[in-house]
Copies of this chain bind each other. A is one copy, B any other.
Amino acid sequence: MAQKPSIPKGTRDFSPSEVNKRNYIFDVVKKHFQTYGFQPIETPSFENSETLMGKYGDEGDRLIFKILNSGDFLNKVNDDLYATKDSSAITSRISEKALRYDLTVPFARYVVMHQNEIDFPFKRYQIQPVWRADRPQKGRFREFFQCDADVVGSDSLLQEVELVQLYDAVFTDLKLEGVTVKLNNRKILAGIAEVIGERDKLIDFTVALDKLDKIGIDGVSKEMREKGISDTAIEKAAPLFALSGSNLEQLSVLSDLLKDSEEGSKGVGELRFIIATIEELGLQSANLKIDVTLARGLNYYTGAIFEVAAPEGVSMGSIGGGGRYDDLTGIFGLKDVSGVGISFGLDRIYLVLEELGLFPETIDQSLQVLCVNFGEKEALTSLKLVNRLRKAGVKCDLYPSSAKMQKQMKFANNRNVPYVVLIGEQELDSNSFVVKDMVKGGQQTYSLDAPELFYKGL
């Protein structure tokens, strides 16, 4: 009996319309990556397990898909270990490869392995799928694309400036105007924790501060107290809770608050430079806003932190993010290589463009012209026309059999074909073809000797 087919949970088939829409986003992103001087690299889908394991914390290790060794893999497990039936201990003996979990660790591995071929600073982009054995839920998949641009080998703040401009360029081009690029700096968060005397409670402090929007000043204070942050510290941090106004006004409050912290002041200086330079250069449609509650994997970043929010009125988590990490490649033995990068959240951007109706109308016109098939002789003449149209780059097809007219027209409708070409007996006799305009209605006759009069306009 034939099996009823299914696909693994958390994975997806993409239909032609979905692929076209995804490619539309990828193509816009890629175009701007390239004009900004980023170069593409690709890395294997699976890495040696040791490259990935231990890089994402215990939870990450659990979420990495492991690939079973080939052949008699149990042969490598000695009897004592086998007797334990301990899945976790046995894993490393029967699996040596794993699917990549993100694009950052493979990139770091790439830079170290290819350091002698690379001209630093190296700006690379990488658009490939990653896999996580996470519990699937709405909007969270086990296979999804990441879309990253990073620069390594330069600690110039001009990179941060460029990355904000890159976000602006991409989202403007996608017609998604009014996104907000939120900006923070890891040094500012560390500085705050330092000046309020709670350096070791940085994470608790930030997690609470992050909820300011939702639970208000009182809620944040309460949570901080519960986490053991002193009243004196909370009082000292109070100006943060009321942080508002323009970027310049916020910088001024921060600068004052952090004047006694070297690290914090450095962070304020970095923010100030990035914001001033971007104001001088101008943005097309994005807003740039300091958000001192922004944390994004605090342990990872060392400088600037970015996050992009969809335009107001669209309820969607961040559609992009990134930051600077001062030691990307150290884990693989290449020290002191500073990196800074951003990523685009493809799946969320897709949903936002869909919700706002921002995909180009023509995206589902995968076929511009369909020739109706009236029989063998007519089909041959039609194919000659189709041939010419295709050579001119027109997406074009001949219905493959002389099915009923109704069936062929239904096919044209389902495929959203804007023009249907008819070459029947009468047209053969008069060496002509008829074009039906499926959008506006009406039809027009052209000579088969001058089909360009039709297709030049497409």
Contacts and interface: CB of A to CB of B under 8 A. Distances in A.
Given A8-B48, A97-B8, A366-B34, A154 B400 contact: yes
Contacts of A332: 2-5
Q: Which of A14, A154, A400 has the most CB of B within 10 A?
A: A400
Contacts of A140: none
A439 interface: no
A68 to B, nearest CB: 4
Nearest to A30: B23
Interface residues of A, number: 109
A75 B396 CA distance: 55
Interface string A76-93: 000000100111101100
Interface in A122-138: 123-124, 129, 131, 133
A171 to B, nearest CB: 14
Interface stretch (A112-120, A220-228, A261-269, A311-319): A112-120
Contact of A87 (B2, B4, B75): B75
A198 B114 CA distance: 57
Contact of A45 (B32, B131, B391): B131
A260 interface: no
Given A35-B393, A411-B119, A74 B68 contact: no
A144 B56 CA distance: 27
A71 B401 CA distance: 53
A74 to B, nearest CB: 4
Interface in A153-174: 154, 156, 158-159, 161, 165, 169
A175 interface: no
A330 B2 contact: yes
A395 interface: yes
A37 interface: yes
Nearest to A284: B391
Interface stretch (A208-216, A290-298, A346-354, A378-386): A378-386
* 3 closest cross-chain pairs (CB), A and B: A2-B333, A37-B397, A11-B44
Nearest to A1: B333
A390 B36 contact: yes
Given A330-B2, A411-B119, A16 B35 contact: no
A62 interface: yes
A73 interface: yes
Contacts of A280: 380, 384
Interface in A40-67: 40-48, 50-51, 62-63, 65-67
Contacts of A12: 44
Nearest to A84: B74
A7 B74 contact: no
A449 interface: no
A162 to B, nearest CB: 8
A95 interface: yes
B113 A5 contact: yes
A415 interface: yes
A13 interface: yes
B74 A85 contact: yes
Q: Which of A15, A90, A133, A379 has the most CB of B within 10 A?
A: A15
A387 interface: yes
A414 B119 contact: yes
Contacts of A62: 70-71
Contacts of A36: 390, 396-397
A6 interface: yes
8 contacts: A2-B330, A5-B333, A37-B396, A45-B45, A46-B143, A66-B68, A154-B401, A282-B387
